Amino acid sequence: MTLFKVIRDCIMKPSTKSTSSLSTLLGGSDPAAFLRDYWQKKPLLIRQAIPGFRGLVSTEQLRSLAASEDIQSRLIVRDGKKWELQHGPFAKNFWRKLKPQSPWTLLVQELNFHLPAAEQLLERFHFIPHARVDDIMVSHACVGGGVGPHVDSYDVFLLQGPGRRRWRISGQQDLTLRTGLPLKILKSFKHEQEWILEPGDMLYLPPHYSHEGVAIDECFTYSIGFRAPSSQEWVAEFLSDFAERLEWPGHFKDPSLKFSDHPGELPQAMNQFLAKELKKLHFTSRLIADFNGRFLTNPKPHVFFNPPEKSINMLDFQQQATQHGLRLDPRTRLMYSKEAAWCNGEPLETKHGVSPALIQLADKRYIGPEQLKLTLDKSVDSATKKQIWQWWLEWHEDGWLKIDV
């Protein structure tokens, strides 16, 4: 089945759309208070964060997604003390083989790339920088299903869809894992708090907070995850990128070399030379921002874009964009700083600062006809305007940006 068919089959009534506000979502806190008091600090249980939330997918639709090669899915089955992990895709007839006595959980990643309703759900969390967004994952479990007690390195909002799930959590220090299992399961989990979450309830957990969810009924849980690279990965990526772009003049010379009858000895002068060269290293804030911009907007390696079937010329593109507006493809990562901007790992030359049109598109991921006229006509010289249209047309050709019809 093509991805297109899967997506079309999965387009549902956007049941996440309700009039509930950000303060309802955050249990009465405004975003600033939530970030100050809970974010990265302590868990928060929010009853009826999204009142009337009925989930984003049915069992049938989820299984269609899990049958696609382009979508990452995993199945976790518990058989007594044994845990099994299988990676998708899972054929449509796979599910008949599951034994009811072994509780299972199906996990499907990156729903926000494949379902407009999931993208809309993610929009509710736009009070957190896009640079921190990972994805929306759904877990579908039969009664008793779960992935065992564990910790995640992410901040996560666990939003309960249809069915109920019991969450147990602990701020324990002992994060030792059981050995010989295909999953990272805590060896000794001693929960400190527990709740049963009903549809629309949500639990926020900071990274490395131990938790275990067990389905009370057949249920769906949506994990809205926010990541940051580990220091190890971040610094290693920076240094390797730096090395790739390095232009370093000079060469070691030793005109005052003294005779020695120990030719096997490493010359001190060579260590001193390298130490001196390394002292010249200076990572400017511009260099760091440029690396971060490219690194943090780089789509994950398995991500690909769907270019439009037909190319469009600039005139038609401008006409349609000013009539309907433009929307970033859900996989596109667009970010900016005061002086620069980056899209999907590529730097954008912004000689006269970042234009309001790009800022609007990066912040809202959408620019409507009115704002498009306003932001492009206002305080933008004709060269910048031309450049922005050029980028947008290229992004459209690459499937990064869509006309919002």
Positions touching ligand SIN (CB under 6 A) are: 105, 139, 146-147, 152, 156, 211, 213, 221, 223
- Residues in 149-178 that interact with Co ion by CB under 5 A: 152
- Output the six-digit token pair for 102: 């072994």
Question: What SS3 state is found at 365?
Answer: coil
Shortest separation between residue 150's beta carbon and ligand SIN, angstroms: 7
Least separation, in Å, of the C-beta of 210 and ligand SIN?
10
How far apart, in whole angstroms, are the C-alpha atoms of residue 392 and residue 357?
11
Q: Measured from the CB of residue 189, what is the shortest distance to ligand SIN in angstroms?
A: 12
CA distance 359 to 231: 28
Beta partners for 343? 334, 346
CA atoms 387, 389, 393, 396: torsion sign? positive
Q: Which does 63 bind (CB under 5 to 8 A by kind): Co ion, ligand SIN, none?
A: none
**Partner from ligand SIN, Co ion, none binding residue 146, C-beta < 5-8 Å depending on class:** ligand SIN
Quick check: 201 binds Co ion (CB under 5 A)? no
Selection from Co ion, ligand SIN, none that 375 binds (CB < 5 to 8 A by kind) is none
* Closest CB to ligand SIN among residues 212, 290: 212
Q: Residue 221 Cβ, how far from ligand SIN at the closest point, in Å?
A: 4
Element counts in the chain: helices (H) and strands (E): 13, 17
213 binds, among ligand SIN, Co ion, none (CB under 5 to 8 A by kind): ligand SIN
Taking the C-alpha atoms of residue 269 and residue 254, their distance in angstroms, rounded to an integer, is: 8
Instruction: Report the partner that residue 221 touches, choosing among ligand SIN, Co ion, none (CB closer than 5 to 8 A by kind).
Output: ligand SIN
Nearest CA to 90 out of 62, 115, 63 is that of 63
Beta bridge partners of 77: 84, 104
- Of 194 and 370, nearer to ligand SIN (C-beta) is 194
| Comparison of 135 and 290: residue with beta carbon closer to ligand SIN | 135
* Of 142 and 358, CB closest to ligand SIN: 142
Which amino acid appears at position 115 of this protein? Answer: L
CB of 228 to ligand SIN, least distance (A): 16
Cα dist. 301→205, 233, 332 in Å? 27, 15, 13
In whole angstroms, what is the distance from residue 145 CA to residue 76 CA? 8
Rounded-to-integer distance, Cα 344 and Cα 335, Å: 9
**Residue 212 Cβ vs ligand SIN, minimum distance, rounded to whole Å:** 8
Chosen from ligand SIN, Co ion, none, partner binding at 210 (C-beta under 5 to 8 Å by type): none
Separation between Cα atoms, residue 294 and residue 296, nearest integer Å = 6
Q: Which residue is nearest to ligand SIN (CB)?
A: 139
Q: At what angle do helices 382-398 and 314-324 cross, to 10 degrees?
A: 90
Q: How far is the CB of 17 from ligand SIN (least distance, A)?
A: 23
> E-assigned strands of 264-405?
326-328, 334-336, 341-343, 346-348, 366-367, 401-403
Q: Which is nearer to ligand SIN, 163 or 325 (CB)?
A: 163
- 381 neighbors 356 (Cβ within 8 angstroms): no
Is the CB of 156 or the CB of 393 nearer to ligand SIN? 156
Least distance between Co ion and beta carbon 167 (Å): 10
Q: Which of the listed partners (ligand SIN, Co ion, none) does 139 bind, with a CB threshold of 5 to 8 Å by partner kind?
A: ligand SIN
Binding residues (CB under 5 A) for Co ion: these are 152
